[in-house]
Structure 1
């Protein structure tokens, strides 16, 4: 039986949170998550990665249920290998948003995640993948990015920091898209109004669970809406200052089993 003081839903980000720098999960963290599910609680991955880039990790974690992907734009059913829900970013709006950003800061380099369980990540000339282990297809020109429906656009600037690029993008994009910052070198445009919180809320409703029953773990500003939604938000020691400022608790880093430390306290060792 689950301890009545523990949470029925444990929502974890992946990069910089559950995953170590080499994209693996430690044995201690895996054991802690096994205790969570063994107690009757649910573990839910809530990540900025699109569904196709999450499938291998879910298999490694033994997750056979729901996962929130694409910054909340996709609700993925791992058992059925299908999207239960997805929202795409209008490609004309995306082009307009890019034009507004470049009018302020000069040339940016862009990539897109295509919609669907088999969608590709396309990168234009000059774009460098922040995660070199993730597969991507280089296209010859920006126009090629818009060949299929997309879930989001990823941006990099040759000189500006992520914080500077995100701040400028938010100032000029307005209602064309939601601007998020999800990791080093990862400023993103996604459908307006879509955040990790919208995806988490949808998944929790499917599971019959509420915000009051949820604890969430993250490391970047894109996790702020998830922390606002959940009863308790736990930031990693390596988290961005904006997330640490709104967290209910700060644990150890992703390299030091910060998630496991908290889960062992709640669910036992």
Structure 2
């Protein structure tokens, strides 16, 4: 039986090495949707990182952003649902992580944009964008936060993530998808998988009818939940180990080539 919904990560999965959607991939995605099968982009990217991609990936439908924190209506460019983190939880998580790993700095992804502490990745290009709020974490938190970012300049990525999971994993969902030491935190129980499950329930799609693609640890819950799951050939080792099926590399149109085979395109 053919899938009734496609869920795919973007960076390292659907996008090529330049972070773009190839002409072949666009053609395949369109052909899949013409068969009545929605393609949902499920990514850790915030809203602000998607504006240049909407047209390339179809300009319509729904997307799950910020690791499950936001369900976004692409056609109307509006937030359909936000799964936020309570301000008091954000402050407490910050206190606990800073105590466990002095030197930790924080930034926030909100439904209204990015905000950061003064020492959070000052080299980041968004840090130079006018209008980005810059202040201590306690002064930045509000009820619009969908993701908390924690950065450490001296610890290794996996080491820092394991520490964060041990210290604050009871209060938030921790994950990482970057080669740098950056832990991403969503509300407790909020993952790509739980948000996709809610969306599929609304659409009347069973998990067994979903095919999903991913490449990094923040995709593990999604790939475990979907009825059919593919790790990219370039995926992180933990993803390759956890997933029985493999798609060709992201810079070889791996998702599109696999979908073309599945749907007989």
TM score, norm. by length of structure 1: 0.89
Match of 2:201 in 1: 205
Unaligned runs of 5+ in 1: none
User: After the TM superposition, which residues 212-223 of structure 1 pair with which residues of structure 2 at under 5 Å, given as runs?
Assistant: 212-223=208-219
Unaligned runs of 5+ in 2: none
Question: 1:91 offset after TM fit, Å?
Answer: 2.1
| Separation in 1, partners of 2:24, 2:10 | 15
- 1:126 corresponds to 2:106: no
Does the CA-based 8 Å contact 2:96-2:168 persist in structure 1? yes
User: After the TM superposition, which residues 172-211 of structure 1 pair with which residues of structure 2 at under 5 Å, given as runs?
Assistant: 172-185=167-180, 186-211=182-207
Q: What do you get for the CA RMSD once the two structures are aligned?
A: 2.2
SS at 2:211 equivalent: strand
Question: 1:24 offset after TM fit, Å?
Answer: 0.8
Does the CA-based 8 Å contact 2:85-2:187 persist in structure 1? yes
Match of 1:248 in 2: 244
Match of 1:139 in 2: 134
Question: 1:175 offset after TM fit, Å?
Answer: 2.0
Does the CA-based 8 Å contact 1:125-1:138 persist in structure 2? no
Does the CA-based 8 Å contact 2:90-2:141 persist in structure 1? no
Question: 1:218 offset after TM fit, Å?
Answer: 0.6
Structure 1 counterpart of 2:149, from 146, 154, 157: 154
Match of 1:72 in 2: 68
Question: 1:215 offset after TM fit, Å?
Answer: 0.5
Match of 1:27 in 2: 23
Question: 1:96 offset after TM fit, Å?
Answer: 1.3
Q: How many residues align?
A: 262
Q: 1:220 to 1:135 in 2, by over 3 A?
A: farther
Question: 1:127 offset after TM fit, Å?
Answer: 2.2
| Separation in 2, partners of 1:130, 1:182 | 19
Match of 2:164 in 1: 169
Runs of 4 or more, structure 1, over 3 Å off, are: 129-136, 140-144
- 1:96 corresponds to 2:92: yes
Does the CA-based 8 Å contact 2:117-2:137 persist in structure 1? yes
| Separation in 2, partners of 1:55, 1:257 | 22
Does the CA-based 8 Å contact 2:84-2:143 persist in structure 1? no
SS at 1:89 equivalent: coil
Question: 1:47 offset after TM fit, Å?
Answer: 1.1
Q: 1:233 to 1:131 in 2, by over 3 A?
A: farther
Does the CA-based 8 Å contact 2:4-2:209 persist in structure 1? yes
Structure 1 counterpart of 2:229, from 214, 224, 233: 233
